[in-house]
């Protein structure tokens, strides 16, 4: 009889490598134990050898925390995924902020920037939770499909016409290692389209900008005006090309306006923008 004791989550959350918890043949209390309760490993894992479960046990002792609801068990629990599915709009819709800033291209969003969707975006972008890319990318892909409906009719070998350009990430939200979070998300989303468009990480921040949160619409516009530019090595590739901008969130639209200005200055034709979430009212 194994005497090591540990805790398991209060809900039947997906725990990597522990299918037995959701096995109908399992019996631990009502099927799962209460968080903070204690069960014996022999009871919880009747068919698993301890040598196979060392990593699982470690995960259970210090289980990951869900970024959506702060319960322990997985970085993103099934309950939050269900909430996200309910919160997201049936299909991406056209959104525009009020007031609508001059120079804003047509924008499509997959859901409102609130509740569980907001928590997922913040955790991914500012919290370094790269695992949430798989949660958010399908939503951004849906927005991209709406902005570029013709792509779904193209074959994979078709000549790519549109280019997708991620909005530039601020220094604050740029990870110390690897690709910028928004750019990585955009690449993942673009790859989910039937005919994946070419993603060009062409925009950079060329002057210091303040954190946009807490600023009014007018202050946000002034904060980012003239702040973006197309990198020298991408300027030639963008001239005369049709471009869709992709970003995580639209609030006042100031970022998308500035991105449009910089891309247009490089000779690109910006036809729209795709975002995961928007604070703007729907319509238009
Ligand atoms: Zn959760």
34/41: higher pLDDT: 41
Q: Kindly give the distance from the C-alpha atom of residue 69 to the centroid of ligand 1, in angstroms, as a whole number.
A: 4
pTM metric for this prediction: 0.73
Q: Where are the domains of the chain?
A: 5-61, 84-278
Q: If you average pLDDT over residues 225-240, what whole number do you get? A: 89
Beta bridge partners of 247: 275
Q: Kindly give the distance from the C-alpha atom of residue 231 to the centroid of ligand 1, in angstroms, as a whole number.
A: 39
Q: Which of 152-161, 162-171, 210-219, 237-246 has the highest mean pLDDT?
A: 237-246
Residue 6 clears pLDDT 70, i.e. is over it: no
Q: Kindly give the distance from the C-alpha atom of residue 83 to the centroid of ligand 1, in angstroms, as a whole number.
A: 9
Provide DSSP, 52-102.
GSHHHHHHHHS--B-TTT--BSSSS-HHHHHHHHHHS-SS-EEE--SSPPT
What's the pLDDT score for residue 66?
A: 92
What's the pLDDT score for residue 225?
A: 81
Q: If you average pLDDT over residues 270-275, what whole number do you get? A: 96
Tokens of 161: 């016409």
**For residue 187, cis peptide bond before it (omega within 30 degrees of 0):** no
Mean confidence (pLDDT) of the chain: 76
Q: Kindly give the distance from the C-alpha atom of residue 65 to the centroid of ligand 1, in angstroms, as a whole number.
A: 8
Q: Kindly give the distance from the C-alpha atom of residue 16 to the centroid of ligand 1, in angstroms, as a whole number.
A: 15
Q: Kindly give the distance from the C-alpha atom of residue 252 to the centroid of ligand 1, in angstroms, as a whole number.
A: 29
Q: Kindly give the distance from the C-alpha atom of residue 75 to the centroid of ligand 1, in angstroms, as a whole number.
A: 8
List, for residues 154-200, the tens digit of each pLDDT value.
554 455 578 999 999 765 555 444 568 999 999 999 999 988 999 99
Residue 27 clears pLDDT 70, i.e. is over it: no
Q: Which of 15, 28, 142 is nearest to 78 (CA)?
A: 15
First to last CA, the chain: 66
How far apart, in whole angstroms, are the C-alpha atoms of residue 77 and residue 69? 8
Q: Kindly give the distance from the C-alpha atom of residue 272 to the centroid of ligand 1, in angstroms, as a whole number.
A: 33
Which region among 60-74, 108-122, 212-226 has the lowest average model confidence (pLDDT)?
Answer: 212-226
List, for residues 137-159, the tens digit of each pLDDT value.
999 999 999 998 666 555 544 55
Residues within 5 A (CB) of ion ligand 1: 66, 68-69, 77, 80
Q: Kindly give the distance from the C-alpha atom of residue 186 to the centroid of ligand 1, in angstroms, as a whole number.
A: 24
Name the CATH architecture for the domain at 84-278. 3-Layer(aba) Sandwich (3.40)
| pLDDT > 90 in the chain, percent | 48
Q: Kindly give the distance from the C-alpha atom of residue 162 to the centroid of ligand 1, in angstroms, as a whole number.
A: 36
What is the enclosing helix (H) or strand (E) of 220?
helix 217-224
Q: If you average pLDDT over residues 92-119, what whole number do you get? A: 94
Q: Which residues contact 37 (CB under 8 A, 6 or more apart)?
A: 7, 8, 29
């Amino acid at each position: 009889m194994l005497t090591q004791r540990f805790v398991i989550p209060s809900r039947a959350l997906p725990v990597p490598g522990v299918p037995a918890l959701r096995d109908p043949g399992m019996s631990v209390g009502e099927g799962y134990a209460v968080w903070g309760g204690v069960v014996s490993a022999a009871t919880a894992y009747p068919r698993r050898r301890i040598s196979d479960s060392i990593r699982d046990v470690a995960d259970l002792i210090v289980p990951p925390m869900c970024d959506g609801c702060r319960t322990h068990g997985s970085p993103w629990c099934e309950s939050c995924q269900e909430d996200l599915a309910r919160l997201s709009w049936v299909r991406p819709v056209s959104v525009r902020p009020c007031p609508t800033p001059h120079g804003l291209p047509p924008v499509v969003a997959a859901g409102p920037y609130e509740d569980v969707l907001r928590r997922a975006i913040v955790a991914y972008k500012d919290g370094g939770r790269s695992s949430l890319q798989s949660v958010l990318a399908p939503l951004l892909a849906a927005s991209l499909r709406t902005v570029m409906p013709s792509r779904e009719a193209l074959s994979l070998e078709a000549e790519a016409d549109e280019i997708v350009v991620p909005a530039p990430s601020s220094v604050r939200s740029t990870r110390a290692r690897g690709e910028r979070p928004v750019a990585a998300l955009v690449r993942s989303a673009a790859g989910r389209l039937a005919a994946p468009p070419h993603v060009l990480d062409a925009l950079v921040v060329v002057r210091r900008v303040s954190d946009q949160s807490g600023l009014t619409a007018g202050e946000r516009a002034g904060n980012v005006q003239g702040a973006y530019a197309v990198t020298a090595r991408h300027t030639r590739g963008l001239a005369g090309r049709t471009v869709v901008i992709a970003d995580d969130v639209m609030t006042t639209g100031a970022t998308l306006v500035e991105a449009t200005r910089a891309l247009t200055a490089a000779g690109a034709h910006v036809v729209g923008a795709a975002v995961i979430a928007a604070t703007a009212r729907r319509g238009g």
